[in-house]
Amino acid sequence: MIIQLKHDVTGNQFSRIETCLGEYGFAASRVRTQQGDYLIALGKKDFDIRRIGTLDGVKDIHIVSDPYQLVSRKWKVKTTCIDLGDGVKIQEGDFAIMAGPCSIESEEQIESTIGHLKANDIRIMRGGVYKPRSSPYSFRGHGMDLLVPFYEKCKANGIKVLTEVMQVSQIDEMHDYVDIFQVGARNCQNFNLLDELGKSDRAVLLKRGMSMTMEELLQAAEYLFSNGNERIMLCERGIRTFEHEYRNTLDINAIPMLKEKSHLPVIVDPSHGIGLRRFVEPLCVAATVSGADGIIVEVHESPEKALSDGQQTLNYAESTRMIRKVRAAHELYQKMRDWD
Ligand code: PEP
Ligand code: MN
C-alpha cells in the first residue's frame, strides 16, 4: 500500500499515521523524493483504506498488489516524465534518441560525435568511461580523464551526458559531470550501488540484467525509488538465450509488458540487444513501433577502429539513416495510437 503524504504534513500528523498503521499490523517505511513524500506500508491484504485515507496529512492512498510498489503503474497512471533541463525531456510521446560510442576514446572523438548528434538534432550522448568487460585484458575505459572533457564539451553544445557508473565509490567523483547514470546489465542487482544512486539527484538508466525477469528488474528499480530517486528509466538491452547467432536476444515482449506494469519510461538498446551492426536499424524501428519511449544506440565515426563493441556500432551514415527511419516510424506509431 502506498500512502501519499501532503507536502505540508506535520510531525504530529505523521506520527499519528504511523501509529495507526502499526496498530492495524502494517510495517511502514517513509520515502522522500524530490517530487513527493510517501509511506510504504506492507502487511495485510484485506483492509479498508478509508481508515488511513481519512487521517490528516494523507493526500491519497493506493492498494498495490505487486511485489514492487512505487514503480508500479497501479498507483500512477501517467508515464513519468524525466526533465533533464534545457528543454531535454524523456517522456511518452516524445521519442528520445540517445547515441554515441560504446567507450569514450579521445577528445577528438567526443567532438566528432557531438557534430554528428547536432546534425541529427540529438540531445543526449552516451559513452562509457568505466567499462565492464568480460576479459580483464580488454580496454576498460579512460575514467575521469575523459569524463570531464566529455561533459564540458557536451554542455557547451546543449547535449546531456549518459555514462555508466560501476561502483559506489565512483558516484561522488562522477556526479558533477553526469546527467544520467547508467547502471549496466552486470550491475543491475548490485543493491548497494542502487541504494546509493537512489540518494542521488541524477537520473538513472537501469539496464536489465541478462537473465533478469520483469519482476526482478522492477524490484531493482524499486531500490532506486525507495531511496528517494524517482528519475528512473528502464532499459531492455537483450537477454541471454540458447541462440548463438547473435550476441543477445532483444526481448521486444518486454516493451509493452514493462509499459503496462510500470509508469517509468522504457528505453531500448538494440546495439547490445543483437550485437550485429547490420540488424541494429530494424530493431530500432521495431522498438519504436512497440511502444518504447526511446532508444540508446552505439555510434562511432569508424566502428572498425572502436576500442569496444565495434561489431555492433553504426557509422555516421548508418546512424543518420536509422534516425530518419525511427522518426518516421514514431510519427506513424503516434497516428496509429489514435485508431485505438
Ligand atoms: C554499454 O552500454 O556499453 C554496456 C556495457 O551495456 P550493457 O551493460 O547492457 O552490456
Ligand atoms: Mn557497449
- Using one digit for the tens of pLDDT, what is the confidence trace for 246-284? 999 999 999 999 999 999 999 999 999 999 999 999 999
Per-residue pLDDT for 156 more than 90?
yes
Per-residue pLDDT for 46 more than 90?
no
Cβ(128) to ligand 1 under 6 A? yes
Q: Lowest-pLDDT range, 39-53, 145-159, 238-252, 300-314?
A: 39-53
Cβ(300) to ligand 1 under 6 A? no
Instruction: Note the pLDDT of residue 261.
Output: 98
- Which is the closest atom of ligand 1 to the Cα of 296? 2
What is the 297 CA–ligand 2 centroid distance (Å)? 9
pLDDT tens digits for range 118-153 = 999 999 999 999 999 999 999 999 999 999 999 999
Cβ(294) to ligand 1 under 6 A? no
Cell 572498425 -> residue: 304
Instruction: Note the pLDDT of residue 47.
Output: 82
Separation between Cα atoms, residue 47 and residue 86, nearest integer Å: 45
Per-residue pLDDT for 33 more than 90?
yes
What is the 299 CA–ligand 1 centroid distance (Å)? 13
| Nearest protein CA to atom 9 of ligand 1, as residue | 185
- Which is the closest atom of ligand 1 to the Cα of 269? 9
- pTM score > 0.75 for this model? yes
Where residue 45 falls among pLDDT bands split at 50, 70, 90?
confident
